[in-house]
Structures are given as C-alpha cells and as structure tokens.
Structure 1
Amino acid sequence: MIHTFSYTVQEDALTIDIILQQKWKLGKKLIHDLRMQKAVSDVNGELMQWKAPLQKGDILVFTWEGDASNYLSSDQIPLYVAYEDEYLLIASKPRGAATHPNEAGQNHTFMNTVHHYLSSKGQAYGEHVHRIDEGTKGLIVVAKNPIVKGMLDRMLENKEIVRTYEAIVEGQVKNNNGTIRAAIGVDRHHATRKRVSPSGQVAITHYEVVGRNPDFTKVHAILETGRTHQIRVHFAHLGHPIVGDDLYGAKKSPTKTYELHAFKVQFAHPITGELIVVEDRR
C-alpha cells in the first residue's frame, strides 16, 4: 500500500537526514527504504535533497510503499475514538474485548474494529502501540503509518508514554501513595495467571489513593513497566486484589468483571511535539 503524510519543519538548519536519524530516531531499514523510494518531496511534488538545509515552516511530503495491516474488518464491538489526527488515534477498548486477534480468522477484537473504522475512511494501516488485558477497559494508542509506529514504539520503550489506570481494590490500602517494586513471572500452577517471583521480570507500579470507603480503596496507578497483568498482580501481592478479580483472589463478581480502567494517556506528539493528554471518564 502507499503511505503518505506531511510534516512541517519546526526549526532552521535541519536536514532530512537529521530529522529521520536524530530527531525521529527511525530504524536503519526504514530510512534505507525511504531513501531508495525517493519518498520525500515538497508540496509541489519536487524531490527533496536529503542533506540540504531546511527552513522552519518548510513542508515535507512523505510518500512510500509499505505494508498494510492485515486485520479482518469488523464492527462487532463499540469503538469510542477519543483523539485522532493524520498520524495516530487514541480509542477506548470496552471491557471483555481482546486488544488484537490471537488466532487466524478472529474478528471480534479492538483492532478488528479499528481496522473497520479506518477502512471506512480509505485507510489500510493501523497498528496498536501497547495492549491492555481483555477484562480491562480503556485507552489504546494506534499508529496510522509505519513511521509513527516506530516512533511511538521507541517512546513506549523509553517510558515517554504515560498511562494512568483507575482501580477499585478490596480493603484499605495503608499508604496514600507509593511504589510497588516486585518482579513478575509465570505461575507454574495456572496457565493464565502471573505471580510475584524473584526470578521474574522487573515490574514497577506507582500509585496514589484517590478515594476510600470502609470496604474499598480507589487508586490511580501509573505503569513504569508493562508486564502482563501487572497492576492486578501487584495489588493482589499487597493483599488488596482488584474488586471482582477472582483470578487473583478477590471475591467473585456477579458480573464476572473487575474494576480496572486505563482512563488516561499522555505523551509528546511524535511529529508535532505537542503535549497530548487524553482522558476517558465514561
């Protein structure tokens, strides 16, 4: 498929080489592909010189051939788009839906619905930057072209994308704020459960208490690492499993759901540098 987007140069004396290598930190293979395809032109379609100095306000148009996303298109689950521009979108996944297909032919996940939404606008590429558990609802960042996907992947790895979750947990959490540092590994006695384990992967969760009643505590949690089930495992480890999360020791819920919501995401926009702060309080 043909990918295309425009970029307005934000400072003098940059070159295309500097933007791609130093500012955007793209991978060598992608930069090579862009160079070989003569992918960068001005607004009039004239090819740009990669080492020529640019001026603030110059507009670069990127047009290149690359992979399309291969999700089946489906509108089986509701999709709430909280933010969108030509580079990315941020949408909310409902509780009970998987982030992406785990087997061939699966078509009832968040990404199948995103693909349906983008296809209706004539766009064939959309890839999630991170995931949330099937039982967790909330915001997921989706890149709309491979350049932005690479940039957002790097930002996530460098902890430059801040994701905030709201959880209601059983009991009274002692401290009003704190950091949970407890490595997480597999539970050999249960196929899908994780556990705190000294031999597991480093896992760090920061939290703040935002509400209390006699039986429950409402907390906001920020992930410094992104291990599977991290918030669920960490609060169960403290003795305060998330309400309804019987996999980790909470009382069973009549609705068979647990109270965890990825309600906020914030980061500097990879292309414009603008601070993006998106919340979903529904």
Structure 2
Amino acid sequence: MITTFQYALQQDNITIEQLLRDDFQVGKKVMHEMRMAKSVLNEAGEPMVWQHHYPKGTNLTFNVNVEPSSYVATNVCEVPILFEDAHVLIVSKPADMATHPNDPGQTGTCMNHVISHVNKQGGVYAEHVHRLDQGTKGLVLIAKHPLIKSMLDRMLEDKQIIRTYEAIVDGFMTQKSGSIRTSIGKDRHDSARRAVSPSGQTAITHFEVVGQDANFTKVHVILETGRTHQIRVHFSSIGYPITGDRMYGSRTRADNYSLQAKKLQFTHPITKEMIVVEDYK
C-alpha cells in the first residue's frame, strides 16, 4: 500500500537528498529505499531529480510504501485519541493495558485498539514511537507511516521529544527539584524487575515537586533517557517509591501505582508546527 502526502519546500536552493538527510533526518536505509522507488514526485507526477537544487515553495508529493502492521484489530477502538494528522497519532493509554502485544495474535493492547482506528480510516500502518509500562497511563506517540516513524525515532534518540510525567510518591520529599543520575540494569534476583546498577545503562530523570502533604508528594518528571521502569526504579532508589507500586517498595495499597505520562511536546518534523498535547484525565 502507498501512503501519499504533499509538502512544500521551506528552504531555498535545496536538493531532495538534503531535505531528507538534514531537515527530515531520515536514516540512510529509508532514504535509499525512497530514492530507488522514486518516492518523491513533482506536481506533474514526475520523479524529482535528487541532486537538483529546488527553490523554496516547490511542491512535492511523497509516495511512501507501507507494509501493513501485524496487530490484530479490535472491533472498536476504545483508546482515546487526543491528536491526529496525516502523519501521527497521540493516544491516551489506560492503566493496566499493555502498549503492544508481546506474543503473536495477542489482542487487547493499546496498539490493537489503534490499528482498529487506522483500519477504519483506510490505513494499514501504525507503530508506537515509545512505550509505557502496563501500569502507567497516559500519552503514547504513534507513527502512521514508515517515513515519519524513522524521523520520530531519530528525534527521540536526540532528545527532541519532551515527555513529562506526573507521579505521586510515598513520603514528604525535602528536595524540591533535581536530577537522579544512576544507571539501571536487570535485577539479578527477579527478571521482571530493574534495579540501580553501576554496570547498567545510563539513566537520567529530572523532577520538580508540584504539591505535597505530610504523607505524599506530587512530582513532575522529565525523562532524558527511557530505560525500562526508569521513573519507578529511580524514585524507589532515593526512598520515595511511586504510590501503590508494590514491586518497587510502596507500602500504600492501591489498585494501581500513581504514574501518568502527562504531556508530549515536539516540533512536528514535517509540518514544523509545535505540537503540545496534555492528558487531563
């Protein structure tokens, strides 16, 4: 299946290769595939010359080859969609729902619901750019075609997508803002857990206290890295586990732990709009 969209050059005297490499930051493999497939056309439907310099305002048509995603669609999409355009979706994943299937044919995950929505629009492709733990609720960014997926993956790696979380932790935090910079690796005693480990991967979590009482503290958290269970591990390691997170030491009994992906902010790599989406639920 081919996904088509239009784009007007926003710079003067630029080649198609420069646009894809420098502006869109498309990887070499995807760029080579697009060049071989003659995926970029002019207004007459003719392939663009990749090394020719084109003026600002030149109208391009992108024909992106799309292989269908493998998720089994639910009958109805029950995941709230908070933002959508021709390229991306931002959805609000409920707590106790996995982001994506872990086994072939698995249903009921966030991506099963999302592909149902996309299919009903005539699309076949949807892939998450990042994931949330099953117990974490909130915003998930999803690509609607492989080109934007490649671009967003690079942006995430380069820390150009700002993810803000809101958490309630046990205890009264005396430090009102700061950063936790301790590496995270697998727990040697429990494969489902992660732990602070000198031999683990670098992990950096920034936080700011936004409210508290004698027993609990509400914090806003920005991830600089995205390790498995990062926020949960980091706050537990400094003595303030996420409220209700029994896996990481909370003594508060709750149906789920209190962690939400609250806000996503990034410059849209194609439209260049500043996208800011907040989840108020």
The code of the aligned residue for 1:192 comes to A
Q: Which residue in 1 is equivalent to 2:114?
A: 114
User: In structure 2, how many angstroms separate the alpha carbons of the residues matched to 1:75 and 1:207?
Assistant: 40
The code of the aligned residue for 1:278 comes to V
User: In structure 1, how many angstroms separate the alpha carbons of the residues matched to 2:10 and 2:38?
Assistant: 22
Q: Which residue in 1 is equivalent to 2:165?
A: 165
CA spacing shift, 1:85–1:71, aligned 2, 3 Å: same
Contact map agreement 1:136 1:262 (CA 8 A) in 2: yes
Q: Which residue in 2 is equivalent to 1:78?
A: 78
Aligned ranges for residues 118-197 of structure 1 at < 5 Å?
118-197=118-197
User: In structure 2, how many angstroms separate the alpha carbons of the residues matched to 1:179 and 1:78?
Assistant: 36
Q: Which residue in 2 is equivalent to 1:268?
A: 267
What SS class does the counterpart of residue 178 from structure 2 fall into?
strand
Contact map agreement 1:75 1:112 (CA 8 A) in 2: no
Contact map agreement 2:66 2:125 (CA 8 A) in 1: no
The answer as to 2:41 corresponding to 1:41 is yes
Q: Which residue in 2 is equivalent to 1:203?
A: 203
Contact map agreement 2:64 2:146 (CA 8 A) in 1: no
> How far did residue 117 of structure 1 move?
0.5
> How far did residue 77 of structure 1 move?
6.6
Q: Which residue in 2 is equivalent to 1:8?
A: 8
User: In structure 1, how many angstroms separate the alpha carbons of the residues matched to 2:254 and 2:38?
Assistant: 59
Residue range with higher mean Cα deviation, 233-242 or 184-193? 184-193
CA spacing shift, 1:75–1:245, aligned 2, 3 Å: farther
The code of the aligned residue for 1:58 comes to T
The answer as to 2:32 corresponding to 1:32 is yes
The code of the aligned residue for 1:269 comes to H
> How far did residue 168 of structure 1 move?
0.3
Residue range with higher mean Cα deviation, 227-236 or 7-16? 7-16
> How far did residue 252 of structure 1 move?
4.6
User: In structure 1, how many angstroms separate the alpha carbons of the residues matched to 2:180 and 2:144?
Assistant: 34
Contact map agreement 1:180 1:206 (CA 8 A) in 2: yes
User: In structure 2, how many angstroms separate the alpha carbons of the residues matched to 1:151 and 1:264?
Assistant: 20
Contact map agreement 1:77 1:108 (CA 8 A) in 2: no
Identity of aligned residues (%): 52
Residue range with higher mean Cα deviation, 107-116 or 72-81? 72-81
User: In structure 2, how many angstroms separate the alpha carbons of the residues matched to 1:43 and 1:86?
Assistant: 19
CA spacing shift, 1:230–1:185, aligned 2, 3 Å: same
**What's the Cα RMSD here?**
1.3
CA spacing shift, 1:169–1:77, aligned 2, 3 Å: farther
Runs of 5+ unmatched residues, structure 2: none
How many aligned positions are there? 281
Residue range with higher mean Cα deviation, 64-73 or 82-91? 64-73
CA spacing shift, 1:76–1:63, aligned 2, 3 Å: closer
User: In structure 2, how many angstroms separate the alpha carbons of the residues matched to 1:218 and 1:267?
Assistant: 24
> How far did residue 56 of structure 1 move?
2.0
User: In structure 2, how many angstroms separate the alpha carbons of the residues matched to 1:102 and 1:47?
Assistant: 40
Q: Deviations over 1:80-112 (max 9, x none)?
A: 111111111111110000000000110110011
What SS class does the counterpart of residue 191 from structure 2 fall into?
coil
**Structure 1 consecutive aligned stretches of length 4 or more whose deviation exceeds 6 Å:** none
Contact map agreement 1:96 1:136 (CA 8 A) in 2: yes
User: In structure 1, how many angstroms separate the alpha carbons of the residues matched to 2:8 and 2:107?
Assistant: 37
> How far did residue 31 of structure 1 move?
1.6
Q: Which residue in 2 is equivalent to 1:215?
A: 215
